Amino acid sequence: MNVIVICLDTLRWDHLGCYREGRAQTPALDAFARGATCFDAAYCASFPTVPMRTDAFTGNVNWPRYGWKKLGEDETTLTEYLREAGYHTAFIHDTWNMVPTGFGRAFDDDILLEAPAGWEANIERVVSPVPLGNMRQGGHGFLRDRARVAHCTQETDWFVAQTMLAASRWLEENRKRERFFLWVDSFEIHEDWYAPDFYTELYSPGYEGLDYSYPNYGHASLYRRHELRRLQARYAAEVTLTDRWVGHLLRTIELAGLLDRSLVVIISDHGMYLGEHNRVGKHSVDSADPWPIYDEVGKLPLLIRLPGRSRPKRTAALTQPADLAPTILDACGLRPPKLVGKSLLPVLRGERAAHHKLIFTSCHSGRGEGRIEYLPSCITVTGPRWTFVTGCEPWSPVLCDRRIDPRQMRNVIDQHPRVAAGLCDSLVGFMRSRGADEGYIQGFARV
């Protein structure tokens, strides 16, 4: 059996039609979902970009011990297990910030789609349509990212198109292999939201006004209403652009006769606030202002198709990226080692409805390696019904009942103190089991 994983950075679950919200046009992903299992309760654990992928590749939840760092030499990855079992492995990606973190190790083929040589010279030529001070960290990232796409004039120049075309070519060349593992990773939906204009026109035709494409990672009150709607339209345009080119890859998988002998996974690493909770961005960049991780950021789209499966299925089983490694190993007939993640095969086969009791989500804020000082994080505990968010002082703990408050707008901790206390106790136990520093634990053990 082959394994194909497509990881799409910053894709919000509620922008896919298969998640019923359908805030963007995603015909290709929706069509794929009609032959897959759609997970309605997948949540990020280690946050954001690189930590999420570390969980997925190692099968463990690593945020209690460390943050954004290079893979440890003592950490065995999914790729290494599969390669040892005789799989030909390939990593095709445009997610450039993964390069120094060691994810490419143990891949037989490591293909990075990059901006043309000398792109840095474009930084001085970038003209911002809005004040740089209204963007994340003074627009430094905007100037860099816009310079990296200065060469894009036709749709096929965009990174997601290049990445999916490269993956399709790889499949054409390798489709007859006995077994392979292909991880395709696109950074496209991450800001700068700069899709071809005709995609943006789908959601914001004839717009006039300040044209934001790069969020401020701050309060939504910075924007006028029409400016925020335009920013949301630019995000939706990136989602639809990505859907089109993922669709190209999915069609190649189908036409190459690989659906009947491949496990195919589509997942994201996290979402993005687009005005909800008066925030725009995925996290704070103010060390004095830790942000909570609610469903707009922490909940993930996750679609998994078993070989030959054609009937759609939905599940409310709580799952997380660390489940990918044991699931893939199990599906390939390999015995997974003891990991925090658990194989989803019983859920996919309909043998079990539940999976994890709780998911614990955060960016490392302890004293371990890889802490990002400007990115303080709360910790979110997610159960089938409740969301509990705790943080260091002066953060006041929050409890939300998603059954009656799916947008997580009302704090009901005073009405349900025992529920909050129980979730906090579970968090403390989990952090200890993962080797967190005791001072780190006690700073967040608050109800």
Q: Is the Cβ–Cβ distance between 290 and 392 less than 8 Å?
A: yes
Q: Is the peptide bond preceding residue 394 cis, with omega within 30 degrees of 0? A: yes
Residue 187 sits in which domain range? Answer: 2-115+151-353
Do the domain assignments include residue 6? yes
83-94 pLDDT, tens digit each: 999 999 999 999
- The region, left, alpha or beta by phi > 0 then psi within -120 to 50, assigned to residue 440 is alpha
Do the domain assignments include residue 362? no
Q: What is the CATH classification number for the domain harbouring 202?
A: 3.40.720.10
For the chain, what is the total number of helices (H) and then of strands (E)?
A: 12, 17
Do the domain assignments include residue 364? no
pLDDT at 237: 98
pLDDT at 89: 98
* Pairing outcome for strands 279-281 and 273-274: antiparallel
Which mean pLDDT values do the consecutive 10-residue runs of the chain (447 residues) have? Answer: 98 96 95 96 98 98 97 95 97 93 93 95 94 93 95 97 98 97 98 98 97 96 97 98 98 96 98 98 91 98 90 93 98 92 96 96 95 91 98 94 98 98 98 96 94
Q: Is the peptide bond preceding residue 192 cis, with omega within 30 degrees of 0? A: yes
Residue ranges in 392-447 assigned as alpha helix (H): 417-433, 438-444
At 17, which amino acid appears? G
pLDDT at 287: 85
Q: List the one residue out of 432, 406, 430, 444 whose CA is nearest residue 41.
A: 406
Do the domain assignments include residue 201? yes
Q: Is the Cβ–Cβ distance between 202 and 237 less than 8 Å?
A: yes
Q: Is the Cβ–Cβ distance between 77 and 71 less than 8 Å?
A: yes
Do the domain assignments include residue 388? no
pLDDT at 373: 87
Do the domain assignments include residue 375? no
Helices 225-255 and 159-174 cross at an angle (nearest 10°) of 10
Do the domain assignments include residue 80? yes
Do the domain assignments include residue 442? no
pTM (global) more than 0.85 = yes
Domain count across the chain: 1
